[in-house]
A and B are shown apart, each in its own frame.
Chain A
Amino acid sequence: MSCVEQMKYKLYLERISFKEARDYIEKSSEEVYYVDPGYKIFKDYYIIGVPPVAMGVRGKEMLFTYVKPCHGTFVMGIDSEEEIARLRENENEKMKRSLKKGAMEDKKRLQQLPVSFNEIYGN
């Protein structure tokens, strides 16, 4: 049993498809973040999901999907400022990585550009 089941949680939807759960989180959250399957929350729960996996923030509550093989997908909410801060931090890191990757690609492109007029037209 995951630690999530032993915490104080609210159950918003139960025994639905993963897509329905994702739609609910996207529509009902003030902030939505997308994580990869396997993203760890709390002590030992690794998110099971079909990418993109949506995680929501509503006030102090984090909304997330919880999947059980025999019961389908649940949408749960747990108050956790710590996990919300980690979600935001994760998003910032993703943004930084994406900007860095973009900058490296720009640099690579610039290095590939011809350096002089003669190189283009000179024969």
Chain B
Amino acid sequence: MDQCNTCLLMMGCPEVPVQMSIVLYLSNKLKKSGRDVTVAGTDAALKLLKVSDIEGHYVEKAMDIDQCIADIVEKKINFDCCFAFMHSDAGLTYAATMSAISPAKLYAVIFGKNAESLSDSVDFPAEKIVAKAVHNPVPLKSKIDRVIV
């Protein structure tokens, strides 16, 4: 993590409750350690984020996930590391895309009911952070704390 000055938190579908709390927690943690954090997500996920952090205490920069992919491909932006949140095949597909288009160090944050089987499907270079968490964010928070001290 030492060389990660710019971080992207790429959210998946916001239907699993733990995602938003972990995104806010992780963003705050990275920000407090002096890193520049951007959060990308769908329209719904960004609205949840904005309402949860109305004054931007935890997240200063947010952008649409497809625009983020487009800007990375067009080399308009890049990041030193990316946390790709996933609890479904679509989330995994976005993470695989990030792995292919960006040299950023990739962390696959895998959660939800099928976290373990989804984790087995990750066959691209990524450090996996896995917890079978749906409503309770504590198991995922603990795993994140072990990776980002």
Known: A69-B12, A69-B42. A51 touches B96 (CB 8 A): yes
- Residues of chain B lying within 8 A (CB to CB) of residue A48: 69, 93-94, 97
Stretch at the interface among B21-29, B48-56, B84-92, B141-149: B84-92
| Chain B residues with CB under 8 A of A71 | 90
CB-defined A-B contacts under 8 Å, sample of 30: A18-B89, A38-B72, A38-B73, A38-B100, A40-B73, A44-B70, A46-B66, A46-B69, A46-B70, A47-B97, A48-B69, A48-B93, A48-B94, A49-B93, A50-B97, A51-B96, A51-B100, A67-B90, A68-B42, A69-B41, A69-B42, A69-B88, A69-B90, A70-B14, A70-B15, A70-B44, A70-B90, A72-B89, A72-B90, A73-B93
CA distance A47 to B101 in the complex (A): 11
> Whole-angstrom distance from the CB of A69 to the nearest CB of chain B?
5
Query: Most chain-B Cβ atoms within 10 A of its Cβ — which of A17, A36, A69, A71?
Result: A69
Interface residues, chain B, with chain A CB atoms under 8 Å away: 11-15, 41-42, 44-45, 65-66, 69-70, 72-73, 88-94, 96-97, 100-101, 124
Would A38 and B101 count as touching, CB distance under 8 A?
A: yes
Contact, CB under 8 Å: B100 / A67: no
Cα separation A67 to B89 with both chains bound (whole Å)? 10
Q: Give the 9 A-B CB pairs with smallest separation, nearest first.
A: A70-B13, A37-B97, A50-B96, A38-B73, A37-B100, A38-B101, A17-B89, A69-B13, A18-B93
CB distance from A19 to the nearest CB of B (A): 8
Bound state CA distance, A17 and B72, in angstroms?
24
* A112 at the B interface (CB under 8 A): no
Residue A123 interfacial (CB < 8 Å)? no
A41 to chain B, nearest CB (A): 12
Closest B residue, CB atoms, query A51: B100
B-facing mask of A62-83, CB < 8 A → 1, else 0?
0000011111110000000000
- CB <8 Å contact, A49 and B89: no
Taking the complex as formed, is A118 at the interface, i.e. its CB lies under 8 A from any CB of chain B?
no
| Distance between B92 CB and nearest chain A CB, rounded to angstroms | 7
Measured between alpha carbons, how far is A46 from B68 in the docked complex, in Å?
10
Point out the residues of chain A lying under 8 angstroms from B12, CB to CB: 69
C-beta contact mask, A25-56 vs B, less than 8 Å → 1, else 0?
Answer: 00000000000111010001011111100000
Task: Tell me whether A111 is interfacial, beta carbon within 8 Å.
Answer: no
Instruction: Give bound CA distance, A72 to B91, whole Å.
Output: 8
